Amino acid sequence: MKIAIATFFGLGVSLLTAGDQLAAGSHGVFSHDGLRIAFQAPAPGGLRVGVLTLATRQVEWLTDGGSAAYPAWGPDGSVVYSFLDAPETAWASVRNGSRKGCNLRVWKDGGTRQLTAGRWRDYAPSFSPDGETIYYSSTEGEERFPGNGGQRGANIRAVAATGGTSRVILAFESLQRAAVQPSISPDGRLLAWAYIAGFRDNWSIAVARASSPEAFCRITPPDMPAYAPRWLPDGRRMVCTACREADPGWCVYLIDVPRGEMRRLAVGENPDVSPDGKTLLYDHDGQLLKADLDATLAAAPTVTLPQPEPFPPIAGEPAFAVAETRKTTRHPLAMKPGDAAFHVSCEATLDRIPAEAGVLVRGAYKESDRAFQLFVNAKGIPAFAMRQADGTYVGAHGGEALVCGRRYRLVGIRVGDTVRLYVDGRLADERNVPLGILPPRAPVCLVVCEGMSGEVTNLKGGFDWPADIPRPTSPRELFGE
């Protein structure tokens, strides 16, 4: 069944191809030989995972009971999925010391084994191309953040397909960030995932070298929520779910990453493309659908994506350095950090949480005595703030209070229209500065260790990118173009 649907799209009208209906279900994914599809479907009391053989349209259910979701194929024909079974009430499970969570299982040749275990959530897994590693989203480790009313993060972890201890691939020093649905490119070089940077943010697609995921860039624009990325066999393009204002709902988009172009392919979600690159698989209204990718592409107009520019290759000598101080000191300097990319870093140890804000370092200009500051608020949360042109502050905040007596490395970076805070090398927060930074017209005076009880050491700053902080990449850099 192929129906041409005329739909308003951006500047013109496009023809969307409705796919052939395969089965009731969602989150379908092709096996490596392209002959089968693993998918999830509603079952009494939960979800179950099944495998559809395309030639016969027969479905074999892999799970029974609980909820099983997010299947992914390994090259050897195994299927990894997330499994959740919660027969007890939450209170009873805590009282009984349950360690049951939502964890990964692997099915192969009729047998099932547990891959991960713990009182957290492991989900949305995918295999590395060689089948040796499984990447997945996880809330493991989020107990680092006991507070903040339940706001959590989700990280990317990896575990050997044979089992064992998992390792962190990408984590944030923040409650408000999440990276889910990791998808590794067919050549194993690039990792893509869905990323959200805070409660007021939207899901977006992030891409990085698999070897340095912290240096990621977002490839989708802020006005287009997007998730569920999957690479095409060519390793340059990907499909994902996204929505733009004129769309009738979630749609399947194809993004050419190095070219910075995208096309809307269908109304639906959770796409995948067959290993031969010819067939698009997605779901819509609880039905799995497939369509000819080339035909679909031919009917879809191209939209140019705004290209994130590479972060400028900042280099230079530190503009200032202060070795160590426990008391308030002032350091007149000949620098104007308001005009350019800028960073300030230090190590800080608090004796106690300040009653008001405690300043680790601030820059006093003629126009403002707090043009920038790295500080700890009255809850012990670290922050890096800069004053905007209208006099208001934009601050990047840490996710959790600093622990007294422990030494932290804090880095505040301002590049372009953003300020970033890193805690112990991990990105904690990033904020846009919509109004631009208040430009200084006179040299700055550093004020260090003010209103706080503790120690500030190794204070440095200037116009170079800190060596220990991964510099965000860009699609062009990723593809060497």
Partner 1 sequence: MNRQRFYLFVLLVGVAVVRLSAFEKIAIIDSFDFASVYDTETVAGTEQILDHVLLTGADTVLWRNCSGATMRYQSREEAPLLMEAPLDPRRVPESRPVHGWLRYWAVEPDIVCTAFASCARRGVAQGIHWPYEENHWNYWTLGPWNLSHPQYWCRNANGVPWHGRCSFAFPEVLAHKLRLLDELLDRKPQTIFFDLFRSGNWTVADEYVKPHRERWRARYGTPPPDSRDPRWIALVGETQEAFFRAVRAHIAARGMKVRILLGIDRVSAGEDENWTKRGVDWKKLAREDMVDGIVIESVRPDPERPFASTAELYASVRDALGGKPFFCPIMQYNFGGRPGYPWYCKATGAREEAVVRQLLEIARDVGAAGIAMECVDHKNYSPAVCEVIRNFDGTKKGTRK
CB 364 within 8 A of CB 435: no
CB 445 within 8 A of CB 359: no
In the chain, the largest separation of any two C-alpha atoms, in whole Å, equals: 78
Which of residues 110, 150, 332, 480 is near partner 1 by CB under 8 A? Answer: 150
Tell me the torsion sign for CA atoms 169, 172, 175, 179.
Answer: negative
Binding mask 34-73 toward partner 1 (x if CB under 8 A, else -) reads --------x---xx-------------------x-xx---
Binding mask 353-392 toward partner 1 (x if CB under 8 A, else -) reads ----------------------------------------
Q: How many CA atoms lie within 13 A of 415 on its CB side?
A: 20
Distances 146 to 152, 159, 176, 376, 393 between C-alpha atoms, Å: 9, 25, 13, 19, 28
Residue 459: beta bridge partners?
Answer: 322
Measured from the CB of residue 109, what is the shortest distance to partner 1 in angstroms?
A: 27
Which of residues 85, 142, 261, 424 is near partner 1 by CB under 8 A? Answer: 142
Which of residues 10, 222, 312, 316 is near partner 1 by CB under 8 A? Answer: 222
Residue 84 touching partner 1 (CB under 8 A): yes
Stretch that binds partner 1, among 13-21, 116-124, 309-317, 352-360 (CB under 8 A): 116-124
Residue 249 touching partner 1 (CB under 8 A): yes
Stretch that binds partner 1, among 117-125, 204-212, 375-383, 394-402 (CB under 8 A): 117-125
Which of residues 54, 108, 117, 152 is near partner 1 by CB under 8 A? Answer: 152
Measured from the CB of residue 89, what is the shortest distance to partner 1 in angstroms?
A: 4
Question: Which residues contact residue 97 at a Cβ distance below 8 angstroms, ignoring those fewer than 6 apart?
Answer: none
Write the DSSP string, 289-351.
EEEEHHHHHHTS-EEEPPPPPPPP-----EEEEEEEESS-EEEE----GGGS-EEEEEEEEES
Residue 104 touching partner 1 (CB under 8 A): no
Residue 349 touching partner 1 (CB under 8 A): no
Which of residues 28, 153, 213, 338 is near partner 1 by CB under 8 A? Answer: 153
Measured from the CB of residue 93, what is the shortest distance to partner 1 in angstroms?
A: 6
Measured from the CB atom, is 31 or 67 closer to partner 1? 67
Give the residue ranges of DSSP H helices in 38-120. 90-95
Residues in the interface with partner 1 (CB under 8 A) total 52
Residue 463 touching partner 1 (CB under 8 A): no
Residue 37 to residue 50: CA distance in whole angstroms:
8
Stretch that binds partner 1, among 224-232, 255-263, 334-342, 449-457 (CB under 8 A): 224-232
Measured from the CB atom, is 157 or 409 closer to partner 1? 157
DSSP run (H or E) holding 412? strand 407-415
Residue 220 touching partner 1 (CB under 8 A): no
Residue 183 to residue 219: CA distance in whole angstroms:
14
Residue 120 touching partner 1 (CB under 8 A): yes
**Ordered strands of the 287-292 beta sheet:** 20-24, 287-292, 279-284, 269-273
User: Residues 257 to 316: which contact partner 1 by CB under 8 A?
Assistant: none
Binding mask 154-193 toward partner 1 (x if CB under 8 A, else -) reads x-----------------------x-xx------------
Which of residues 17, 31, 78, 82 is near partner 1 by CB under 8 A? Answer: 82
In 1-147, beta strands by DSSP E = 4-9, 12-17, 20-24, 26-30, 36-43, 46-53, 58-61, 67-73, 79-84, 102-108, 111-114, 122-127, 133-138
Write the DSSP string, 22-56.
EEE-EEEEE-TTSSEEEEEEEETTEEEEEEEETTT
Residue 200 touching partner 1 (CB under 8 A): yes
Which of residues 7, 14, 93, 325 is near partner 1 by CB under 8 A? Answer: 93
**Phi/psi of residue 416, nearest 5 degrees:** 55, -125
Tell me the three state secondary structure of residue 407: strand
Residue whose pair of structure tokens reads 């194993």 in the numeric block: 188
Question: Which chain residues interact with partner 1 by CB under 8 A?
Answer: 42, 46-47, 67, 69-70, 82, 84, 86, 89-94, 102, 119-121, 123-124, 137, 139, 142-143, 146, 149-154, 178, 180-181, 194, 196, 199-200, 202-203, 222-223, 225, 227-228, 243, 245, 247-250
